[in-house]
């Protein structure tokens, strides 16, 4: 890759106390790419996302956004630098309205420039957030909440979007909505790092999918591997 990647993890190691969670992980996500990160439970996928967003502490290595290190920054500073996370379990503010959830999404933006435009685009992508704007987010269905969580991340106008198992617990039709939205998000130039359990769909969708087991990068898969179930299973069992 000749140009600077949007997001780059360089020899990243993370541990919880003395227990290593991620070991010497290096990966790069180019601008406008969708990169998948799959692997069994406990492989370190969520930990990796938490470390990028400074919710977990890096033990060694470097994380760079458009070439500059973001290590040591606070979570809010990383959000303001242009990385948005759609957390596992959605983490919407159930007691606030859908509108207030979206207003919070805009908090990290520098000025008003582009806010209206992004807002309109997000409402086109997920019409439910406009339809139910005045409702409390907690009364939405799981699928609607997930759409709100992604919409909330997108109104921040991020350059990099991280998603932590966005399809978890969703009905198949909603999973389609989410995966289709990811393609449109890429079309808009947003770089996507997708952590998923749905291995095959992720491999098919992403430009590249990394397989993480036991905190180590085992394999890189491309969409050509999507139908090679055996190879995906083998990658999971490689530990």
Partner 1 sequence: MIHVQNIIDAIGLGAVFALIAVGIGLVFGVLRLINFAYGQLIMLAAYALAFTDSWPDAASVLAAVLVAVAASLVMERIAFRPLRTADPSTMLVATFALAYLLENAALVQYTYRQHGIIGDPIGTLAQLNQAVTIGSLHVRWVSILAIGTGAVSLAALALLLNRTSIGLQMRAASMDFRTARLLGVRADTVIMASVAVAGVLAAVAAVVLSIGSASVTPTTGLYETLFVLVGVVAGGIDRLLSATLGGFAIGFAISIVGAELPSSGETPFTSNLYMPSVIYLAVIVALLLRPAGLFARGGPGSVERV
- Residues at the site binding partner 1, with contacts judged by CB under 8 A: 53, 55, 74-76, 79-80, 84-85, 87, 91, 93-96, 100, 103-105, 107-109, 152, 156
In the three-class reduction of DSSP (H, G, I as helix; E, B as strand; rest coil), residue 164 is classed as: strand
Comparing CB distances to partner 1, the nearer of 77 and 183 is: 77
Among all chains, which residue has been given the structure tokens 């198949």? 172
In the three-class reduction of DSSP (H, G, I as helix; E, B as strand; rest coil), residue 57 is classed as: coil
Specify the DSSP class assigned to residue 97. Answer: B
C-alpha span between 207 and 202 (Å, rounded):
9
Among all chains, which residue has been given the structure tokens 């956004």? 65
Task: Quote the least distance from Cβ 126 to partner 1, whole Å.
Answer: 17
Q: Which residues of 156-193 are buried (b: 16+ CB within 10 A; e: fewer)?
A: bbbbbbbbbbbbeebeeebbebbbebbeebbeeebbbb
Task: Quote the least distance from Cβ 53 to partner 1, whole Å.
Answer: 6
Task: Quote the least distance from Cβ 172 to partner 1, whole Å.
Answer: 27
Task: Quote the least distance from Cβ 27 to partner 1, whole Å.
Answer: 21
Specify the DSSP class assigned to residue 28. Answer: E
Comparing CB distances to partner 1, the nearer of 91 and 184 is: 91
Comparing CB distances to partner 1, the nearer of 95 and 230 is: 95
Comparing CB distances to partner 1, the nearer of 105 and 226 is: 105
Task: Quote the least distance from Cβ 108 to partner 1, whole Å.
Answer: 2
> Which residues are bridge partners to 69 per DSSP?
64
Comparing CB distances to partner 1, the nearer of 157 and 215 is: 157
């Amino acid at each position: 890759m000749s140009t600077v990647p949007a997001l780059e993890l360089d020899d990243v190691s993370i541990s919880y106390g003395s227990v290593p969670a991620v070991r010497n992980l290096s990966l790069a996500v180019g601008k406008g790419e969708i990169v998948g990160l799959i692997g069994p439970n406990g492989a370190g996928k969520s930990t990796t996302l938490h470390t990028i967003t400074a919710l977990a502490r890096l033990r060694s290595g470097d994380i760079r956004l458009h070439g500059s290190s973001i290590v040591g920054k606070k979570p809010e500073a990383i959000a303001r630098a242009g990385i948005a996370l759609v957390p596992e379990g959605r983490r919407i503010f159930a007691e606030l309205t859908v509108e207030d959830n979206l207003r919070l999404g805009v908090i990290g933006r520098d000025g008003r420039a582009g806010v209206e435009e992004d807002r309109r685009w997000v409402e086109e992508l997920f019409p439910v957030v406009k339809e139910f704007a005045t409702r409390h987010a907690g009364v939405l269905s799981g699928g609607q909440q997930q759409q709100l969580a992604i919409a909330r991340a997108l109104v921040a106008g991020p350059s990099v979007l991280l998603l932590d198992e966005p399809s978890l617990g969703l009905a198949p039709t909603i999973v389609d909505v989410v995966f289709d939205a990811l393609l449109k998000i890429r079309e808009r130039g947003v770089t996507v790092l997708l952590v998923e359990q749905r291995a095959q769909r992720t491999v098919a969708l992403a430009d590249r999918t990394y397989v993480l087991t036991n905190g180590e990068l085992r394999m890189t898969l491309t969409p050509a591997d999507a139908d090679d179930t055996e190879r995906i299973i083998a990658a999971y069992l490689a530990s």
